[in-house]
Structure 1
Amino acid sequence: MISISMCMIAKNEESVLKRCLDSYSGLFDEIIIVDTGSTDNTKNIAAGYTDKIYDFEWTGDFSEARNFAFSKASCDYIFSADADEVLDDYNRNLFMRLKSVLLPEIDIVQMKYVNCSHNTVYNSKKELRPKLYKRLRTFTWISPIHETVRLQPVIFDSDIEILHMPQSSHSKRDFSIFKKSIDNGTHLENYVLRMFCKELLISGSDDDFEEFYDIFTRRLIYEYTDNDCLEAISCVLARMYRLKNLSDDFFKIALKNVAVSPCSEICLEIGDYFFNKNDISEAVLWYINASSETESVLDIRTSGDIPLRRLAQCYTTLASEAVAHGDDVLADTYNNNASEYEKQADNWKMPEEL
C-alpha cells in the first residue's frame, strides 16, 4: 500500500478546518498544514490533527505556498487539500480502496470536484481535478525501437468525489492577486487568463470591471494572441464597453464575434445593450440567440437560465406596455410568454459533468 502526505495551505479557516480534517481522518500517513498568516484559531485546530504545522509568509502567490507545503512531504504520494473540502463515507471507502491498489506507474490521480455552492465559477456540478501526485517521479524509456523518455505523466481518473463546500466567495481575493500579478509584469498562463476572464464575467461587480478597464484595453488585448484567450478577453471587453456606454467600441468587438464565431456571452451583452435602451423587441432577438442559437465559452449560464430570465423580463415589460395601450389580449399573450420563459429558467439545470 502506498503512503500519502496530505498538504494544505490555510489562512483563517477555523470555521471549516475541523469539518475537513475529520472527513479525511485516517486516510493519510502524515498531515502537513502550512499557515499563511492566520489571526484566528486555525493553527490550534490543526494541532489537534498534526504536529507538522509550518508558517509561511504570504507573498500573494498560491504556487509558492503550495510548493513550500509539498517540500515538507515525505511519503510516496502527496494529496493537495483545501480546508473547504469534505469527503463523505462512501468516497472515504473509495479513497482507501484506491490507496491499497494504486499501481506504482501512476503519476497523478484525478478526482471529481463536486460543487455544493451556488456561489461558483464552475460550469458543471462536477469536474475532474488532479488531486494526488507522486512525490518523486521516475523517468522511464518507452518503445522497443526509436525509444524515448515518457514525458507526459500517467494520469488515472478515479470515481472519488470530493465535496467543495465553501462558506463564502473568494472572488475579491482572487481579483487582487490577478491585479498584483499583472501590475508586477507577470505574464499569465493562457488557462489562468481565461479563468480570470471567467471569474470577472461571472462574479465581478461593475466596480471590478471599472478597476480592470485599463489593464484589458491597454495591455491584455495586445499581449495574448491565443484564439481562446482573445475570445475570453472579447467577452470581458464587451461588458466593459457596454457599462461605459462606449457604443462604437462595444459594437466593434461584439459584431466581430458574431461574424466569426458567435457565443452566448456576446449575444447576452447585445441583448442587455438593447434592453437598457428600452428597445425590448431587439433585446428579445438577442436573448433568444443566447439561449438557443449559440454556446457559451466562459459562463454556461449565459446559454441557460440567465437569458431565459431576461426573456421573461422582456415579455413582462411588453405586457405592461400593452396594458397601457389598452390591448389586454396582447398583454395576456406576453404574460404567458413571460411565465413560460420563467418556468424554463427554473427548470434549467447545470450539467452534471462537461
Structure 2
Amino acid sequence: MVTVSLCMIVKNEEEALHTCLKSVHDLVDEIIIVDTGSTDSTQEVAASFNARIYPFEWCDDFSAARNYAFDQATQEYQFWLDADDILEEQDRLAFLDWKKQATVSYDSITMDYVLSVDEQGQPLYKLKRNRIVRRDRRFRWIGFVHEFLHVTGSTFHSNMAVTHKKTRAYTDRNLHIYLQHREQGTVFSERDHYYFANELYDNGRILEAIQQYEHYLGLDQGWIEDRIAACFKLADCYAHQGQKQEQRMALLRTLNLDVPRAQFCCTFGNLFIEDEQYTQAIYWFRQATLIEPPQDVMALTNSSYFTWFPHLQLCLCYDRIGDIEKAKSHHRIAQLHHPTHPSVLYNEQYFAQLEQK
C-alpha cells in the first residue's frame, strides 16, 4: 500500500471541480488545491472535500503554480489532475487496485489520457502522461504554458486512464501568454515553438501558424511525435488556404521522420477522393488497414485511423468504381467497429435499398 497526494491548480472551476473531486476524493490520502485567483465558489467546493487550499498569485506561468502545488504534498506519491478531468468507475477500481498492491518502487506511473470518446464511450483520441510520481524524487514542471512534468528513472505504464471532460469554451489565454513572452524576448524551446504554432492555428491565425510550424520544423529538433503532428497541422493550414500542392508536401514530410502512419495514408487517400481518383485512394486506404499504432506508448493516437475510418472510405471508393461486393465487405468491417456512426448508418440503408432493386 502506498499513499498519494492529489495536487491541482484551479481558478473559477466550481462546477468542474466538484465532478472531478467526487470521482477521486476517496482514492487519495490528501488533496492539495492551489487556487490562482477564483472569484466563484471554487474554494468552498474544494473545502467540502476536505482539501488543503493554498492561494497563489497568478504570474502567467503554469509550471510555477504546479510546482508550488507539488511542494505542499506530504504523501509518498504525487498525482495531478486538471479540474475538468475525472476517473471513470473502471479506472477508479484500477487505481484502488494499484494503490493496494504498489510499493514505492517506480519513479513514475503513466496513465492514459482520454481526450475524446465515441458514441459508445470508447476512446478516440488518447495519449499517456506521467500522472503519478514519487515525491522524494522532487520532479519539476517545465514551461510557462503547455507545461510538462520532467521525469527520469523507472516508469510503469499502467492501464489506468484519466478522462477529459472539458466543459468550458476554448479561450485565447494561452496564445496571449505566448505573445507576451515573445514580446518580452523570452527564448522559446523547440517545444514552445510547436505549441505556439498550435495556439495560432486553434485561434484561426492560419498564416501566422504556417510561418510558426515552418520555423519549428526547420529547427529539426524536438520529440518526433510533435514534429510529425506539426506536419499534419501544417497540411491542415495549407488546406484551409486552398494550397493543395503545399498540403501534399507537408504530409509527405512525415515520411522523412518515420514510416508511414495510418493518419498519413488516410489523409493522402482523402486527397485522391477529392480528385475522384478512386483507384489511387484505394491504395492508400488499404495501406492504412495494415499499419499498427506508433511504437512510442506516449504518442497521441486516434483509433479511427486504425479501425473503422479506412474501411468506411474503402466502401465509398469501391462503390464509386462499381465493385459493390467489395464496398459491402468494407462496410461490414466499418460497421463492426463503429455501428452508430452516421455514415455507417447511411451506408447500411444504401445497401439495403440496392438489394431491393
Q: Does 1:224 align with 2:224?
A: no
Q: Distance in 1 between matches of 2:49 and 2:280?
A: 60
Please report how far the alpha carbon of residue 210 of structure 1 lies from its aligned counterpart in structure 2 after TM superposition: 4.9
Please report how far the alpha carbon of residue 269 of structure 1 lies from its aligned counterpart in structure 2 after TM superposition: 3.0
Contact 1:271 1:286 in 2 (8 A): yes
Contact 1:107 1:155 in 2 (8 A): yes
| Residues 21-170 of structure 1: pairs in structure 2 closer than 5 A | 21-50=21-50, 52-87=52-87, 95=95, 99=99, 102-111=102-111, 113=113, 117-118=117-118, 129-137=129-137, 152-157=152-157, 161-168=160-167
Instruction: For residue 117 of structure 2, give the secondary structure of its aligned residue in structure 1.
Output: coil
Please report how far the alpha carbon of residue 40 of structure 1 lies from its aligned counterpart in structure 2 after TM superposition: 3.8
Q: Distance in 1 between matches of 2:270 and 2:111?
A: 38
Letter paired with 1:224:
D
Which of 187, 203, 208 is the equivalent residue of 2:189? 187
Instruction: For residue 14 of structure 2, give the secondary structure of its aligned residue in structure 1.
Output: coil
Q: Does 1:212 align with 2:214?
A: no
Q: Percent identity?
A: 27
Letter paired with 1:310:
Q
For 1:143-169, what per-residue CA distance to the aligned partner results, in whole angstroms no more than 9, with x for missing partners? xxxxxxxx953444556x345151448
Q: Distance in 2 between matches of 1:256 and 1:96?
A: 44
Cα root mean square deviation, aligned: 4.3
Letter paired with 2:337:
W
| Residues 191-202 of structure 1: pairs in structure 2 closer than 5 A | 193=194
Residues 299 and 177 (structure 1), Cα distance of their counterparts in 2 relative to 1, 3 Å cut: farther
Please report how far the alpha carbon of residue 9 of structure 1 lies from its aligned counterpart in structure 2 after TM superposition: 1.6
Residue in 2 that maps onto 1:312: 315
| Residues 155-304 of structure 1: pairs in structure 2 closer than 5 A | 155-157=155-157, 161-168=160-167, 176=175, 180=179, 183=182, 185-189=187-191, 193=194, 207=204, 210=207, 212-217=209-214, 219-225=215-221, 228=224, 229-255=226-252, 261-289=259-287, 291-294=288-291, 299-300=301-302, 301-304=304-307
Q: Distance in 2 between matches of 1:157 and 1:283?
A: 37
Which of 322, 328, 336 is the equivalent residue of 1:347? 336
Q: Distance in 1 between matches of 2:54 and 2:101?
A: 31
Please report how far the alpha carbon of residue 187 of structure 1 lies from its aligned counterpart in structure 2 after TM superposition: 1.2
Contact 1:241 1:249 in 2 (8 A): yes
For 1:109-160, what per-residue CA distance to the aligned partner results, in whole angstroms no more than 9, with x for missing partners? 44455667349xx98787654333222239xxxxxxxxxxxx953444556x
Residues 172 and 266 (structure 1), Cα distance of their counterparts in 2 relative to 1, 3 Å cut: farther
| Number of equivalenced pairs | 312
Letter paired with 2:44:
N
Instruction: For residue 308 of structure 1, give the secondary structure of its aligned residue in structure 2.
Output: helix
Please report how far the alpha carbon of residue 21 of structure 1 lies from its aligned counterpart in structure 2 after TM superposition: 2.0
User: Structure 2 length normalisation: TM-score?
Assistant: 0.66
Q: Distance in 2 between matches of 1:78 and 1:54?
A: 16
For 1:69-103, what per-residue CA distance to the aligned partner results, in whole angstroms no more than 9, with x for missing partners? 11222333322233344446776566556556643
Contact 1:242 1:273 in 2 (8 A): no
Q: Distance in 1 between matches of 2:308 and 2:196?
A: 22
Residues 117 and 181 (structure 1), Cα distance of their counterparts in 2 relative to 1, 3 Å cut: farther
Letter paired with 1:249:
E
175-184 or 206-215, larger mean C-alpha shift: 175-184
Instruction: For residue 70 of structure 1, give the secondary structure of its aligned residue in structure 2.
Output: helix
The structure having more radius of gyration, on CA atoms, is 1
For structure 2, the 5+ residue unaligned runs are: 139-150, 295-299, 339-357
Please report how far the alpha carbon of residue 294 of structure 1 lies from its aligned counterpart in structure 2 after TM superposition: 4.4
Instruction: For residue 69 of structure 2, give the secondary structure of its aligned residue in structure 1.
Output: helix
Contact 2:107 2:152 in 1 (8 A): no
For 1:187-217, what per-residue CA distance to the aligned partner results, in whole angstroms no more than 9, with x for missing partners? 1449x94x899x89xxx77946555112112
Q: Distance in 1 between matches of 2:305 and 2:203?
A: 18
Residues 182 and 346 (structure 1), Cα distance of their counterparts in 2 relative to 1, 3 Å cut: farther
Contact 2:17 2:45 in 1 (8 A): yes
Q: Distance in 2 between matches of 1:338 and 1:278?
A: 16
Letter paired with 1:56:
F
Residues 72 and 310 (structure 1), Cα distance of their counterparts in 2 relative to 1, 3 Å cut: same
Instruction: For residue 48 of structure 2, give the secondary structure of its aligned residue in structure 1.
Output: coil
Q: Distance in 1 between matches of 2:180 and 2:332?
A: 43
User: Structure 1 length normalisation: TM-score?
Assistant: 0.67
Instruction: For residue 74 of structure 1, give the secondary structure of its aligned residue in structure 2.
Output: coil
